[in-house]
Chain A
């Protein structure tokens, strides 16, 4: 019989009159693996902040932790930690310049009245906890040099020091490969055996269904319900989160494309990818699916001239071209939307208008070689309306937009260059389900206009329901090619994760 660990009733929270949480009830059993899902703005983070004592709920709330009623007025984040509740935020809150062992034992530095460091103690504690949950991390390494997955394990080890009862992880899997997710899950299962409760906050639906024992869905600050993962599938969960039916229809799989747009022959680069051949037709959406580290991004970058290939030929509309720098790629009408839009795609503090027109400034010049205001406004307006970017003003800074709208600005920026070939690297990573599907609509519209699109992703649904053809990439090579009409989700999943 499950023992109740945490029971929260009638939780509401207002921010400047906006209702972030509305009378939510939420509970966790001891030792269970629970998932909290919802779109951005659904109130997930607010709920976590209340559990961890960072925010206080409105009056009328009632919280029982291990059967004891909390004094909500005086409940601080320190109390929460003392009660064994640890939150691992998406940014992990580690110190990149310190070693693994010091990060794990860091809280020993913070103990009250402690003046001197006992390195032997820190060593011992770190060693023990790492061996205890059976992870293989060099304790001497600086945390900043580890992969995100290993950093996450360090954060878990850190939480395990002291009396951990509830581990809350915010979007833990968003940048992990399949193998890394598996090893994270195996650690979580070990924690479960010790009676530690884990709460995942996530919107990666497949993974939620794989590990969760119960799923709580939030929407617009209200609790939609608590579900057994067995009664959920991808489609139903999407519906619960968005309140909208999002239909997954494979694109017109019968359409035949005949006009060759891009041909890549024998593309190789040492330590990146090998012998890649592909053909992209006008109006076609070609999916490249591969896990992190399969060479997919490296390949895309070399098509765009940033990571020049060692060997191979590129033909555009039958004519051989040389792409040595990204200037060449731009001249041949190739656009590239990077995986990391925050770092590479956008100038965050600049306005939407400036971001959209940054790639076409040459075209906006007037006779005096100055930027023509009218032309610029036209271009911005076209971009904003084509991509249905919902903003009060095109003068607002890009960083004030939501993820979905930011991604639209990146797309608008590249579409304004009127590309013939558009490479999209993980175009919807970290974006809500609803925003995702509208980005997908835009991609389909662009293809219908005759642009050839290469869509790179590691999400099965994304390529299966948007592309005409799919190439599977593994260890830097193309290991399979399918027409979307010929393959199912399950089959594609197996191929991608093989070996």
Chain B
């Protein structure tokens, strides 16, 4: 009996969460897409999506943490671009450079640039959106100026091979090998690590608290500077990691390759139920938000729909999802206003 009750409660709880609707939308879309193109619903394609969207997925995790804290970061693509370009420049000119340095340098750059964001936001007490729009322009502008917009390629062999490492090795009907990419593994590790921080460390809970009510957070004695510093540096670290992954995927580095993706990523995180007002959002939701955008883009590509139309579709899907959430919220509000008329 007890167990049964719990089961019902869990079912209800799941239904109450926005994520579940997003999940159904993704399943529905996948079914439709696989009717049009049987290649869509294969393990090979799934692994491929998971590999190519690990870049976006990692940035989305970083951004989720920023949104949870009540902030926002627009500059992370510029941050990633700078980190990536410096790494690529060093790699191309010193092919003997160690893997360790190739990872360490972009991550450090990401953290430092994130720290600049956090300091400006805290000490100027300015809205994060303005500060990070400004730093986006500064970071990217300086890079453009110094690099002259030059593309970089001809990476060392290990760099090319690293991107092809897979964990599970399978063969498709044509005998071509495929598998779960190491890049996907990195993404999954980042999700799990972030989950642990958010749920089981006092730091994670303080981030939620600050996003929920910053005044109360100050009164509870939380160190706001420290928290903001962590959050934006965390975003910066992930921008650094994501930039390595993007370079591994593309094997060329162009100063404008990542720029402009920030809005898509913000949309994915918000689609996943994170609030722009701070304090609420989940990793599952973020994962689903990224998945939805991935499924649409990938599905439409397989259907040979032009990339311009893909943008239109993504825009429409975002509008539809947001409407569903808005309607739900209205339904909740209506329920609150009920007066017991004693009928």
Contacts and interface: CB of A to CB of B under 8 A. Distances in A.
Interface residues of B, number: 29
B340 A107 contact: no
Contacts of A272: 337-339, 341
A429 to B, nearest CB: 19
A274 B205 CA distance: 46
Interface stretch (A114-122, A129-137, A323-331): A114-122
B128 interface: no
Given A96-B279, A110-B220, A475-B339, A117 B213 contact: no
A269 to B, nearest CB: 9
Interface centre among A114, A117, A119 (most CB of B within 10 A): A117
A257 to B, nearest CB: 29
A459 to B, nearest CB: 20
B109 to A, nearest CB: 27
Interface string A265-302: 00000111110000000000000000001110010000
B206 to A, nearest CB: 6
B221 interface: yes
A128 interface: no
A294 B279 CA distance: 33
B341 A273 contact: yes
Given A93-B220, A109-B202, A116-B202, A475 B342 contact: yes
A97 B200 CA distance: 17
A64 to B, nearest CB: 26
Contact of B339 (A91, A98, A294): A294
Nearest to B220: A110
Interface string B315-335: 000000000000000000000
A90 to B, nearest CB: 12
Contacts of B340: 293, 475-476
Interface string A87-117: 0000111111110001000110110001111
Given A93-B213, A274-B343, A476-B342, A115 B202 contact: yes
A245 interface: no
Contacts of B205: 98, 102, 106, 109, 117
A293 B339 contact: yes
B215 A93 contact: yes
A117 B341 contact: no
Nearest to A474: B342
B215 A116 contact: no
Given A271-B338, A274-B343, A475-B342, A93 B216 contact: yes
A116 B338 contact: no
Contact of B215 (A91, A107, A115, A295): A91
Contacts of A97: 208, 211-213, 279-280
Interface string B177-221: 000000000000000000000011111111011011101110111
Nearest to B340: A475
Contacts of B343: 274
B222 interface: yes
B166 to A, nearest CB: 35
Given A95-B279, A97-B212, A117 B339 contact: no
Contacts of B211: 97
Interface in B25-59: none
B279 A475 contact: no
Contacts of B202: 109-110, 114-117
A95 B341 contact: no
Contacts of B219: 93
A96 B280 CA distance: 10
A477 B280 contact: no
Given A96-B279, A102-B205, A110-B221, A271 B341 contact: yes
Nearest to B339: A295
B342 to A, nearest CB: 4
A293 B341 CA distance: 10
A295 B342 CA distance: 12
B281 to A, nearest CB: 9
Interface centre among A95, A117, A298 (most CB of B within 10 A): A95
Nearest to B223: A110
A78 interface: yes
A271 B204 CA distance: 41
A298 B337 contact: yes
A144 B216 CA distance: 14
A168 B249 CA distance: 60
A104 to B, nearest CB: 13
Interface string A337-380: 00000000000000000000000000000000000000000000
Contacts of B201: 115-117
Contact of B212 (A96, A109, A477): A96
Interface of B: 199-206, 208-209, 211-213, 215-217, 219-222, 279-280, 337-343
13 contacts: A93-B216, A95-B209, A97-B212, A110-B222, A115-B202, A117-B202, A119-B200, A271-B339, A273-B339, A273-B341, A293-B340, A295-B341, A476-B342
Interface of A: 78, 91-98, 102, 106-107, 109-110, 114-117, 119, 144, 270-274, 293-295, 298, 475-477
Given A98-B212, A109-B206, A117-B205, 20 more contacts: A93-B215, A95-B216, A97-B208, A97-B211, A97-B279, A106-B209, A110-B220, A114-B202, A116-B201, A117-B199, A117-B200, A272-B337, A274-B341, A274-B343, A293-B339, A293-B340, A294-B339, A295-B339, A475-B341, A475-B342
